[in-house]
């Protein structure tokens, strides 16, 4: 998987390959549904221990304008219906044969340097709705309504006009951060063993349905 440029036209495919590689390295057999055409709701099928999971991958490219903190993650694009109706789902929106059980958000700096967040779909939906509440269901500074667009977040501080938005950003970050895997160069070599243990623990937690189990604190930052 070699590329000289990562942008919106190819980041989705690169992100899917990254997730497939990560799963395969932990004993999953992975099938890419998009090799035979786009499949609604789901990009990858993963099998391990006679169990199958349906996975949706959301990719974003590292924001090079911010060389020290360009890691950002996207849940997808919202429509007017998502802004107006809190019950409108961001995931599994289409009626069909596939229903995502796991959502993976990937930010790609290069095929070998990336971060990704592995979320049970319910937690991904809850997190996306928090962003919708503080970024889209509020008024702009001029009191006008927000327009549909990408629903995204990062782990760096952003300016917020109101205490409610500050609280929303913090709530959403705290919800998803335990599910983050950091494959960037910022992870020290002497912590790589810890990282692999963290990945195994996280995959067990998400894919074995035990998302309520506590994670160790060794790599939470």
Does 5 map to a domain?
no
Question: What value does the mean pLDDT of the chain take?
Answer: 87
Q: Is residue 177 part of a domain?
A: yes
Task: Supply the range of the domain harboring residue 63.
Answer: 11-207
- The pLDDT of residue 216: 42
Q: Which of 34, 30, 52 is nearest to 43 (CA)?
A: 34
pLDDT at 215: 43
Query: What local confidence, expressed as pLDDT, does residue 214 receive?
Result: 42
Query: 192 in a domain, yes or no?
Result: yes
| Cβ 194 vs Cβ 202: under 8 Å | no
User: What pLDDT sits at residue 96?
Assistant: 78
Separation of alpha carbons 137 and 85, rounded Å: 10
The pTM of the full predicted model, rounded to 2 decimals, is 0.88
Domain membership flag for residue 72: yes
pLDDT tens-digit readout, 85-111:
999 999 998 887 899 999 999 999 998
Quick: pLDDT tens for 139-175. 888 889 999 999 999 988 666 678 888 899 999 999 9
Radius of gyration of the chain (CA): 17
Among 29-38, 154-163, 191-200, 202-211, the range scoring the smallest mean pLDDT is 154-163
Is residue 164 included in any domain, yes or no? yes
For residue 215, being part of any structural domain is answered with no
- How many independent structural domains does the chain possess? 1
**Domain for residue 216, yes or no?**
no
pLDDT tens string 21-43: 999 999 999 999 988 767 789 99
Q: Tell me the pLDDT band of 210, cut-offs 50, 70 and 90.
A: low
Asked, for residue 28, whether it belongs to a domain, the answer is: yes
CB within 8 A of 68, min separation 6: which ones? none
Contact 15, 74 (CB under 8 A): no
């Amino acid at each position: 998987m070699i590329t000289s440029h990562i942008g919106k036209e190819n980041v989705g495919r690169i992100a899917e390959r990254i997730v497939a590689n990560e799963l395969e390295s932990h004993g999953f057999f992975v099938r890419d549904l998009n090799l035979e055409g786009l499949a609604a709701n789901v990009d990858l099928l993963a099998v391990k221990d006679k169990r199958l999971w349906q996975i949706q991958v959301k990719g974003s490219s590292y924001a090079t304008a911010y060389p020290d903190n360009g890691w950002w993650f996207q849940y997808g694009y919202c429509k007017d219906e998502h802004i107006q109706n809190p019950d409108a789902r961001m995931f599994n929106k289409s009626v069909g044969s596939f229903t995502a059980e796991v959502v993976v958000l990937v930010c790609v700096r290069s095929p070998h340097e990336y971060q990704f967040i592995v979320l049970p779909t319910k937690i991904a939906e809850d997190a996306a709705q928090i962003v919708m509440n503080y970024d889209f269901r509020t008024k702009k500074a001029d009191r006008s309504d927000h327009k549909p667009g990408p629903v995204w977040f990062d782990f760096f501080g952003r300016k917020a006009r109101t205490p409610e938005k500050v609280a929303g950003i913090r709530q959403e970050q705290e919800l998803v951060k335990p599910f983050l895997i950091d494959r960037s160069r910022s992870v020290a070599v002497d912590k790589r063993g810890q990282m692999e243990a963290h990945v195994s623990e996280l995959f067990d937690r998400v894919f074995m349905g035990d998302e309520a189990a506590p994670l160790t604190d060794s790599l939470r930052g």
